[in-house]
Amino acid sequence: MRGNLSLESFKVSAAADNAAVAEKMIRKLRAGLMPPPGIRRPPEPDLLNIATSLEALIDARAATTPTPGWRTFQRLNRAEYERSIKALLTLDMDAAEYLPLDTKSANFDNIADVQLLSPTLMNSYLHTASEISRLAVGDPTATPSETTFKLTRWVSQRDQVEGAPYGTRGGLVVGHNFPADGDYVFRVSFHHETTGALYGSGRATLHTVESPEQIEISVDGERSALLDIDRWMHASDPGGVNLFTEPVAITAGPHRVAATFIRRFEGPLQDLISPHAWSLASTSIADAYGFTSLPHLRDMAIRGPYNPTGVSETPSRQKIFTCQPSAPSEELVCAQKIISTLATEAYRRPLTANNLDALMSLYEAGTNNGGFEAGVRMAIEGILASPHFIFRFEEPPPTLTADAAGPDTFTLDSLDLASRLSFFLWATGPDTELMRVASEGRLSTPDELEHQVRRMLADPRAEALATRVAAQWLRLSDLEKIHPDVRTYPDFDEQLKAAMQRETELFFHNLVKEDRSLVELFNADYTFVNERLAEHYGLPDVRGDAFRQVPHVDDARHGILGHGSILTLTSHAIRTSPVLRGKWVMEVLLGSPPPPPPPNVPDFEESAAAEDGRLLSVRERMEAHRSNPACSSCHRMIDPIGLALENFDVTGAWRIKDNGASIDTATELYDGTPITGPVDLREALIDRLTPLVRTFTENLMTYAIGRRLEHYDMPTVRKIARAAEAQGHRISAFVLGIVESPAFQMKTTPPMTQTVDGGG
């Protein structure tokens, strides 16, 4: 018995009868983690033969009795809600402003059984429906309200912000939906010292009374206001450290708003050290560190409308008002056309008579308070608040009834299949073509299904596979938690962090768009960078904020193990972490997470950081920590992976020394494979391609079907992986394999005795 798994009574011949245990063995054998380090290891072919035999027995049983699994209905999460509103109403919105954070399971935010419901959540959906309908239709009677946009602590105030006018630095650029034509006032607020004085005042020789710093407010790239920053402003002043514009006339609809400093000085500053391209909003801390900075923007607020004059045509109104009544007698017919069209798209299936009657009742109630457009707006609010929009119901056919004796299976109807497919590949509802094909009953035919999958993968909306699937699988959101020490890594800021994440997303999206091999995820000799990230990597001849594909000049960076995003999110603020990096590879890429550390074991930070008057390298400290017998067995699996990446520092930059000592990356993997650095590590992982492919398939399938995978799903995973191997591991092969599987196209009904908890 080892790791709470007893194999004493396990028989290979009975693997199909004990599939849950057998699948754990297969996973360990394929990853080379069984037997564990320190135990005599049989020849590799013998171990793989055992895994193959177990798989064959389990797969043969599964072929005769497939189990598609069951899950409850899903609801739209933040990302899906945003994309659905964009598709339905041509309106960009930030769901984080309206809806609570999504719960994750298996590292994904679309897993049905953890999408709990509560009165607070439902109230959020109702409030959001009201606000979105108001912004989409416009509100000529809008009263002034204020929206505030805050900068994060680590945004650079010295570099030009993406989307900002040329000749500016720092600040922020945001998209904002204005509810009506009218006047709007902008407020900008600055950081101040603990004494209350404006932060950065007088630091530059040119920041004087005669030539003050200035901040520009622009709308859609056109300057709307230019404000002088008074170097003597103080938090105790009546207006605090705030500046206000005069009223600015702006039309309704979406506009790009920027509040940025005028770039007017590039020389050395009056401070102890040269300026760095970083920012710390906690400005008193910045002073303590001795870093130079000019005035910092803290936030920008938009207040209005004042004196609204109406609502101009906007993209949303053009999508909504497909007809305009020329007389009161035409209003009802026009409204019914608008409402039925929008509701059919929102509900992802044809309307019933009851659906339409309920929405038309809302329309009539709205007309009593504001006429035709007010009625349409109220009906849209009803559409967005409807369970048919918020939830994704998948009903069994009326001829199928589950009884207490056990569950039954059924095939999804074409419309539910279309919905699953569109939310899988686009994170939004079906488009017109997919709905048409599904309504005609053709989507269930293999040729048409494959045609639609390939069409959808070629569509720009398939970037959801990168920003949603890959980003969550690879844990890119963990970057938000990492803030490298500013004294050690002064050039690291939010812009660089965002560029790192964008690199990985663009890299994966390119695999999807060009239907490349999954193997390139691990060994590609190219990547995507902008100027800032190229400088960080030492790549020449890259200029500007736009990302472009470039070849790697160093084979140590090939694949995602050379991406700054991965290397940074697996580090601590002040040092690299071979443990975090090794654990990430084992858990995320190999699908075999190490066990948690035993209790009462000293933390790594408690190990000596210096010896005989010199600082110890991370490797030296790791070896001392690993000498503890309680830590040794797990660290022999984890540490070699991370140590092979020690030439990459906390921010993913290449280095050859750690605390003044030359870095030694030579080590031996848990299966005895000798490696000397990132190149050898990459090749060793690719030599064991099966667990890499299996783990990718599992994560893609988990996201696609909205539930955690169980042991009975593994035969399907292997079938998909084998089919993909025959096609060169192209991304489309994995997608098609999942879409064609029973787990995607079928569903199990729960027994009648099973109660489904809606979570409130």
Q: Which residues pair with 172 in a beta bridge?
A: 259
Closest C-alpha to 71, from 394, 349, 348: 394
Cβ pair 301, 148 in contact under 8 A: yes
The per-residue pLDDT of the chain, averaged, comes to 88
Q: For residue 54, how many other CB atoms are within 10 A of its CB?
A: 21
| Rounded average pLDDT over 2-30 | 77
pLDDT of 270 = 35
Lowest mean pLDDT among 129-133, 196-200, 267-271, 712-716: 267-271
- Model pLDDT for residues 42-73, shown as the tens digit of each residue: 888 888 898 999 989 998 998 888 889 888 99
Domain boundaries, the chain: 12-64, 145-310, 475-682
Question: Is the pLDDT at 216 greater than 80, yes or no?
Answer: yes
- Model pLDDT for residues 570-600, shown as the tens digit of each residue: 999 999 999 999 999 999 999 999 887 766 6
Residues 6 or more apart from 496 whose CB is under 8 A from it? 532, 533, 536, 564, 651
Cβ pair 556, 678 in contact under 8 A: yes
- Model pLDDT for residues 149-169, shown as the tens digit of each residue: 998 767 777 778 888 888 888
- Model pLDDT for residues 83-113, shown as the tens digit of each residue: 999 999 999 999 999 999 999 999 999 999 9
Question: Is the pLDDT at 369 greater than 60, yes or no?
Answer: yes
Handedness of CA 421, 427, 433, 436 (dihedral sign): positive
Q: Which residues pair with 260 in a beta bridge?
A: 216
Question: Tokens 């797969």 label which residue?
Answer: 59
pLDDT over 70 percentage in the chain: 86
**Residue 165 has what DSSP assignment?**
P
As given in the structure block, the two tokens for residue 430 are 């079906």
551 or 595, greater pLDDT: 551
pLDDT of 98 = 96
Question: Is the pLDDT at 407 greater than 70, yes or no?
Answer: no
As given in the structure block, the two tokens for residue 369 are 């308070």
- Model pLDDT for residues 194-204, shown as the tens digit of each residue: 778 887 765 54
**pTM for this entry:** 0.89
CATH topology of domain 145-310: Jelly Rolls (2.60.120)
- Model pLDDT for residues 414-434, shown as the tens digit of each residue: 999 999 999 999 999 999 999
Question: Is the pLDDT at 620 greater than 80, yes or no?
Answer: no
| Rounded average pLDDT over 466-491 | 93
Closest C-alpha to 532, from 496, 506, 571: 496
> Binning pLDDT at 50, 70 and 90, where does residue 690 land?
very high
**CA angle 457-461-467, nearest 5°?**
100
> Binning pLDDT at 50, 70 and 90, where does residue 710 land?
very high
pLDDT of 272 = 32
pLDDT of 759 = 36
Cite the beta strand spans of 499-630 per DSSP E: 526-529, 548-551, 610-611, 614-615
- Model pLDDT for residues 269-302, shown as the tens digit of each residue: 333 333 334 444 444 444 444 444 678 899 999 9
Question: Is the pLDDT at 408 greater than 90, yes or no?
Answer: no
